[in-house]
Structure 1
Amino acid sequence: MSGSSGEVLLEVTGGVAVVTLNAPQRRNALTPAMAGELIATFDEVDARDDVGALVVRAEGRSFCAGGDVQTLTDAGRDPAAPDAYAGMGAIYDSFYRLGQVKAPTIAAVRGSAVGAGMNMLLAADLRIVARDARLICGFLKRGIHPGGGHFVLLSRLVGREAAAAMALFGEEVDGETAVRLGLAWETVDDDAVDARALELATRVAKDPALARTAVANFRKETGPPGVSWEIATQFERPAQMWSMRRPTP
């Protein structure tokens, strides 16, 4: 990408876009500038009709340590100050934008994910997590109320009880527990996370048009918020009819 700092990388192969958080020196903590690059990258992915899946991964020992400490410190002085407000908004928008990517998305999670880093993985459609991953909400420990719709994102996967344990009472979750709670589809060894995520992404990316149509309705039906079975039927019917009338890929 032109004008990129190199903190967000994009590679597209075989219909799969791989977006890499590449600021390992600060454990991929999100600055407003990095968040802006993420948003621009997701826009670039959406502009390509040949992309049928997206994997978000990270370099280094952490998936994402949340919001950058300096950004949070600056915001803490005067959260309503225009620069601070816009900076935090950019961080919120980065993971919200991931949730709007037109193709199915997978988070390949190695190391720790904290705060906004949790929101980033929660925004994806599916998660593959390392066995020794550390999934930590962490907002209250920092003396900060959760942001970015954290309670909604977390509880839609793990339910109210586990969301309370993690977000309010500070419980930390590893890969095995994440799968048990429904927070991840699968847990594998650290060095196998990326390969497993790519395997799944490559499967759905074989038919990009169908993948994009299916995931759009998947999100509408499953939420947040979810919809009734009757409404889901109406969402699915035109998409299914479209898929049946196409030439078979």
Structure 2
Amino acid sequence: MSEETTSEVLLSIEDGLAVITLNAPARYNAITVPMARELTAAVAQVEADPSVACLVLRGEGKAFCSGGDLDTLADAGLDPALPERYDALGTIYESFVSVGRVGVPTIAAVQGAVVGAGLNLVMATDVRIMAENARLICGFLKRGLHPGGGHFMLLERLVGREAAAAMGLFGEEVSGTEAKRLGLAWDALPADEILDRAMTLARRIAGDPELARATVATFRRELAQTGMPWDVALQVERPVQMWSMRRLSSRAAAAGEEA
């Protein structure tokens, strides 16, 4: 068994299985730029280890991931086109894109709240096991932000246009049980059972990493999008999201002056 501990991302590898844990429970695993870098690095380590057949992704504490860190988003909103702020947002995008493209099958064990970029991260995995009482919330518009990270593409790919519109445009919240009905989760269970269920699935392929990697590559090629590719969706959403960030920052500044 090997285990690497960073400040906010934990990676353990044992018997062909890798488990990545988001480990910032005090802020409900909201993604900061440093945390995103750690997540991307952990995924790269999984990719580079030929003994790994499957990756399980989970969150420590009461929430899987409450989205992008609000302070990070507020800072980006001051001038989203400033190179360092533009790159910072791209770093958060890259973290869940790396999960979606890692060369092993992936499973998300999902409990608690899943919001915005956190939902993107969940949707990047191949299979999702959810707590029945999990709360899936797009959340961008409620914060005054345009969605980013290819959010609409990821939603429509899993739940279809109608549910994607209800969730992404109108803020409909979905439970883990409802997510299973919609096709956004394979199973919905009591929260204390989801990790065991995810690990049971993962162990079925743990003994043959080479075959697992070859099979997931074929699976993803055969089921590839016929619509907009993910990298294109990222760029379509990004300028409008940058505009919404700048607008939100301007409104906050104006409110401060009025006060």
Match of 2:256 in 1: none
Match of 1:79 in 2: 80
Match of 2:8 in 1: 7
Residue 109 of structure 1 pairs with residue 110 of structure 2: yes
- Indicate conservation of the 8 Å contact 1:109/1:127, yes or no: yes
- Indicate conservation of the 8 Å contact 1:71/1:84, yes or no: no
- Indicate conservation of the 8 Å contact 1:4/1:37, yes or no: no
Judged with a 3 Å threshold, the aligned counterparts in structure 2 of structure 1 residues 4 and 11 are, in CA distance, closer, same or farther, namely closer
Query: What do you get for the CA RMSD once the two structures are aligned?
Result: 1.5
Match of 1:39 in 2: 40
- Indicate conservation of the 8 Å contact 2:4/2:11, yes or no: no
- Indicate conservation of the 8 Å contact 2:17/2:206, yes or no: yes
1:52-95 deviation per Cα after TM superposition (whole angstroms, max 9, x unaligned): 00000010100001000110000111111122111110000000
Show structure 1 runs of 5+ residues with no match.
227-249
Q: What SS does the aligned partner of 2:130 have?
A: strand
Match of 2:132 in 1: 131
> Pairwise mapping of residues 1-249 of structure 1 onto structure 2 (< 5 A)?
5-225=6-226
1:153-207 deviation per Cα after TM superposition (whole angstroms, max 9, x unaligned): 1111100000000000100000110010000000000000111001001112221
Q: Distance in 2 between matches of 1:216 and 1:42?
A: 16
Query: How far apart are 1:130 and its partner, in Å?
Result: 0.1
**What amino acid does structure 2 have at the position aligned with 1:195?**
D
Query: How far apart are 1:4 and its partner, in Å?
Result: 6.1
Match of 1:237 in 2: none
1:115-155 deviation per Cα after TM superposition (whole angstroms, max 9, x unaligned): 00000000000000000000001111111111110111111
Show structure 2 runs of 5+ residues with no match.
228-259
- Indicate conservation of the 8 Å contact 1:63/1:113, yes or no: yes
- Indicate conservation of the 8 Å contact 1:102/1:216, yes or no: yes
Q: Distance in 2 between matches of 1:4 and 1:16?
A: 16
Match of 1:241 in 2: none
- Indicate conservation of the 8 Å contact 2:5/2:11, yes or no: no
Question: How much identity, in percent, do the aligned residues show?
Answer: 58
Match of 1:233 in 2: none
